Structure 1
Amino acid sequence: MDGKEPYELGPDSRPKDGVPRGTVTPHREFESTFVYPETRRTYNLYVPAQYDPAKPACLMVFQDGDEYAGPIVNVPVVFDNLIASGEMPVTIALFVNPGNPGPGAPVYGGTGNRNVEYDNCNADYATFLAEELIPQISQEYNISGDPEHRAICGISSGGACAFTAGWFRPDQFRKVVSHCGSFIEIMGAHNYPSWIRRQYRRPLKVYLQTGAKDLDIKLGHIPLANREMEAALLYRGYDVRLEFGEGGHTLIHGGALFPDTMRWLWSDVV
């Protein structure tokens, strides 16, 4: 996910002198036991320097976690800077990658499990996080169970997945960040604008980002799909923000905006 776009990381995405640095664990492996049986995935965790085991920390989950932990977004550095400045709460980041089938295990979608985990419009992936992976992490860290203190983020199908997690499990996640979200006709996400308008209002805060050069393919037009998402969310009175830029289907613009995204997303918690 690269390309030439008129965006670059700002000072809040780069290390600053005197700012305490959190720790990022090496990759760990996790095997699902009941939502996606026998699939394995890697994940790692960012834990801020200010983490206090006596106080529940907020949690933010990133799909395609290696993309977000890497230099395009520099999530750990952004968190270091904004937690130190008091512009976001003490937050643990869970960078989780899509699952892969183990030896002899069923393949749920394509050659891996990304498609079925991220593109299905159901509660499965959020339930996997809430009832399998997060409880394991909670054995080591004190993570808040308040859904207002839990955010979820992703790009492309991972962005649609983030919204799906909030839509079906607002008891677990109420803050959503979608970069170049694939709200198109892959496995049903093109229905969200209609569902948003007609179904009961969920207590969600939603950040959307896309660009004029995002994908226009036979399954749909991602820039238009995100505008339709914004219109439907505004119609129903959701707390929503759409950033529409010049870029394509990459994290470059979303990465450049990420510090301000976090300020907006967590403004009701700090």
Structure 2
Amino acid sequence: MKPIVVLLAMLLLTPLSEAAAFNHPPIRTGVTLTPDHRPQPDAPAGELQGPFEFHSRIIPNTVRRYWVFVPAQYDSATAASLLVFQDGQRAINPEGPIRIQHVMANLIAKGEMPVTIGLFITPGNLSQHYPDNLGMQNPNHRWQEYDVLGDRYARLLINEMLPELEKRYTLTDNPEQRAIGGTSSGAIAAFTVAWERPDYFRKVYSGIGSYVSIGYRPEATPPQQLGGHDYPALIRRSPIRPMRLFIQDGSNDLDNEWGDWFLANQQMVKALAYANRAADDKNQAGPRYQFTHVWTDGRHNDDHPGALLPEGLRWLWAGDKK
């Protein structure tokens, strides 16, 4: 009987060990800013234009600010790639942890991402003009745009904002060369845009993503309004989108009334892996999710997703070199 007992013990322990390995992966520590976050002498700085104001018809009664980064290597005769980043006021802060304009300039100069136009956009504010005193604070219409599932925010970007950008710049029509990213609610907004419109955006940078129940409103009828916590179920049960995702979260992220944020990000990764595995098991034709994740010991702030931005953008565009 002893060999049988040993065999049963092995069978019982194996799935638990695999689950433990996934739910508690190596946590990266010592994450900090890199030289790519600072101007480098061999990297042309490019030009950060703005802020500009924009009034939407799709999300009425709101105003938002945006900035445009034009790399020094941009030539209107050649279509440029595109990177859209949410919470633009934080993304461009030269003293903040993201400093996206410096990261892009350095990576473009080194050939680690293509010549790319950057669009850095704030959420909307319910006012006639964007308040000058907000600074790095969130405008008052953020969760309604970023945390609610559906295609409204995607339509604002694709049908309203980007046509304005295309009046000034030659942009690619290749969805593989369009990326979108953000942190916290900006991350789920980026994921939602690519989920709804993979024909337009296929690369996603997600830091400390709010894949929790902020947008959930059971009283909304009809229909009941879904929230970010619904995404793992949707990913598992929906056709696979052709998406490439870099996902970061910190083990000290929030645990509050909206959910356990670190657990929610792990659920997202598990769902992506399941969808791929199920499609492989059924020999289904079509795309598979391309994704990687980095867990750190960070909290719910931009420090770690900002510090990992160069790594994430390199990874997102590295797939084009295969």
**TM-score bin (small chain):** over 0.9
Q: Alignment length, in residue pairs?
A: 260
1:35-79 Cα shifts (integer Å, max 9, x gaps): 112311110110100001011111111110111112311111111
Unaligned runs of 5+ in 2: 1-28, 130-137, 216-226, 277-288
Q: Provide the residue aligned with 1:8 in structure 2.
A: 32
Where is the helix percentage greater, Structure 1 or Structure 2? 2
Between the aligned partners of 2:179 and 2:149, the Cα distance in structure 1 is: 18
Higher relative contact order (CA 8 A, sep 6+): 1
Mapped contact 2:63–2:128 kept (Cα < 8 A): no
Output the TM-score relative to the length of structure 1: 0.92
Report 1:105-184 matches (<5 A).
112-184=140-212
**1:220: Cα distance to partner?**
0.5
Aligned counterpart, 1:46: 69
1:269 CA displacement: 3.2
| Corresponding residue of 2:49 | 25
The answer for the alignment partner of 1:87 in structure 2 is 112
Q: Is the 8 A contact 2:31 2:296 kept in 1?
A: no
Question: Aligned with 2:319: secondary structure?
Answer: coil
Q: Following the alignment from structure 2 to structure 1, what is the Cα–Cα distance between the partners of residues 185 and 178?
A: 20
* 1:248 aligned residue (283, 294, 299): 299
Equivalent position of 1:101 in the other structure: 126
- Gaps of at least 5 residues in structure 1 are 105-109
State the partner residue of 1:228.
Answer: 267
Percent identical: 44
1:171 deviation in Å?
1.3
Tell me the distance in 1 between the aligned counterparts of 2:37 and 2:128. Answer: 40
CA contact (8 A) 1:170 1:202 kept: yes
Distance 1:263 1:103, change over 3 A: closer
Post-superposition CA distance 1:198-251 (Å, at most 9, x none): 110000011111111100012100000000100111122211111100010011
TM-score (norm 2): 0.78
Determine the structure 2 residue equivalent to 1:217.
Answer: 256
Q: Which one has the largest radius of gyration?
A: 2
RMSD over aligned CA atoms reads 1.6
Residue of structure 1 in register with 2:90 after alignment: 67
Partner Cα separation in structure 1 for residue 156 and residue 84 of structure 2: 12
**2:246 aligned partner:** 207
